[in-house]
Structure 1
Amino acid sequence: FRISLTKKEEIVLDFFMGSGTSIAAALKTQRQFIGLEQLDYIEDLAIERFKNVISGEQTGVSQRCNWEGGGSFVYAELHELNQKFVNRIQAIDSNDELFNLIERIKTEAFLDFQVHIERIANDDEDFLALSLEEKKDVLIQALDANQMYLNYSEIDDASYSIPDDVKAFNRSFYGEDEES
């Protein structure tokens, strides 16, 4: 992120936020910002960094822009649907664990329409002959990639059990009133 390439009224968008360097510089230079990160280290690195920036830490562009601290940010996570199964599949260490998870996937996951999960679940010889890692790959591919996270339009669907305070936050974030 180069300060000279943006104006204060512009929004800095960082699709791969990592440790938050670009977003920290945006905050210090009075830009609005949106940072996205998919990896789990977000709370340990970027969120802690933003708290320090708001408290007035003096690294990076702080001296050049007379940074004294202040500001705020909103941190939000997407509600996982199939992504929770991807995480569980990746953590599996045995075939027994895998087949136990397949039973949950059959009833709870969103599957690709071309997948016949019963074939896998009913001792398919080709599937059984695969290594554990290959079986895990097959299962991940069986999940509908368009259903990794909950779409905002589905937030009121009772089957997802989204708490009322989370719904209220989302509505306020999108500038909608409670009646929408």
Structure 2
Amino acid sequence: MIIEKYRDNSRLARSVWWDKEVNSERGTVHLRELFGNKVFNFPKPETLLSRIIQISTIEGDIVMDYHLGSGTTATTAHKMQRQYIGIEQMGYIEDVAVERLKKVIDGEQGGLSQQINWQGGGSFIYLELKKYNQTFIEQIEEAKDSKALLQIWDQMKAKAFFKYSINLQEFEGDLEAFKQFEIDKQRKLLCELLDKNQLYVNLSSLNDADFACTEEEKKVTQDFYQIKK
């Protein structure tokens, strides 16, 4: 086990933790104290993540959570002097996780703070992936009528990445039938044409002129991935 290999004072962790310190109710209370109302369902408490981080890492290690949610992993890692990477696709990352990390830096005293005498400090960087097909999806969702959707379709034909199984000529030939559908079905059909593996610009396409990445975007990406020029 990791704790036996790397810790001088290692001890076996129990497989199941039943105590109240690690249930989601404690996480919910903490978030309510921070934001004044319920902003996330079933958030994990910092006391739970602190146990996991303590068992598996030492100060300075990188902790990664690719479903960041309410941000508990990041806030706990921050307080415990770990580096961290958090990934989240849902829009609430800006309103919950990012704002929560700002409060941690300001020295908020909920969760793990009093136990470890957290006084605030530190910093973090928030980045968004450069959109590609995701841009079309957002335009489709915001379209008010069929006319707007057909204009988006024209743009998609010129620039979008489609699923390999899609026959564009066949779809184009069925446009009159497409126009007869309710707008919700039209939105769904257009979204289904798009290759979901190309929602965002891939690292391998960073220098591809078709994606129009700015020099600043290239520099930030290269710094993040530690790519030598």
TM-score by length of 1: 0.88
Paired with 2:176 and 2:227, the residues of 1 have a C-alpha distance of 53
Find the residue that maps to 1:18 and give its secondary structure: coil
> 1:12: which partner in 2?
63
Across the aligned residues of Structure 1 and Structure 2, the Cα RMSD in angstroms comes to 1.9
Q: Which has the higher contact order (CA 8 A, sep 6+)?
A: 1
Which consecutive residues of structure 2, in runs of 5 or more, have no partner in the other structure? 1-47
2:123 is the alignment partner of 1:72: yes
Find the residue that maps to 1:12 and give its secondary structure: strand
Deviation at 1:125, TM superposition (A): 4.5
Identical pairs, percent: 37
Which consecutive residues of structure 1, in runs of 5 or more, have no partner in the other structure? none
Amino acid at match of 2:99: E
Find the residue that maps to 1:6 and give its secondary structure: helix
Amino acid at match of 1:4: R
Total equivalences in the alignment: 178
2:73 is the alignment partner of 1:26: no
1:89 to 131, 140, 151: 140
Question: Pairwise mapping of residues 15-54 of structure 1 onto structure 2 (< 5 A)?
Answer: 15-54=66-105
Structure of larger gyration radius:
2
Amino acid at match of 1:47: V
1:132 to 167, 183, 190: 183
2:110 is the alignment partner of 1:59: yes
Paired with 2:161 and 2:53, the residues of 1 have a C-alpha distance of 42
Deviation at 1:43, TM superposition (A): 2.0
Paired with 1:41 and 1:2, the residues of 2 have a C-alpha distance of 20
Paired with 1:103 and 1:119, the residues of 2 have a C-alpha distance of 15
Paired with 1:2 and 1:111, the residues of 2 have a C-alpha distance of 40
Amino acid at match of 1:138: L
Deviation at 1:122, TM superposition (A): 4.5
Deviations along 1:112-132, one digit per CA (max 9) or x if unpaired, are: 122233443445344334321
Amino acid at match of 2:50: I
Question: Pairwise mapping of residues 132-171 of structure 1 onto structure 2 (< 5 A)?
Answer: 132-171=183-222
Paired with 1:176 and 1:100, the residues of 2 have a C-alpha distance of 39
Paired with 1:72 and 1:139, the residues of 2 have a C-alpha distance of 41
Deviation at 1:171, TM superposition (A): 1.2
2:161 is the alignment partner of 1:110: yes
Question: Which moved further from structure 2: 10-19 or 128-137?
Answer: 10-19
Amino acid at match of 1:62: S
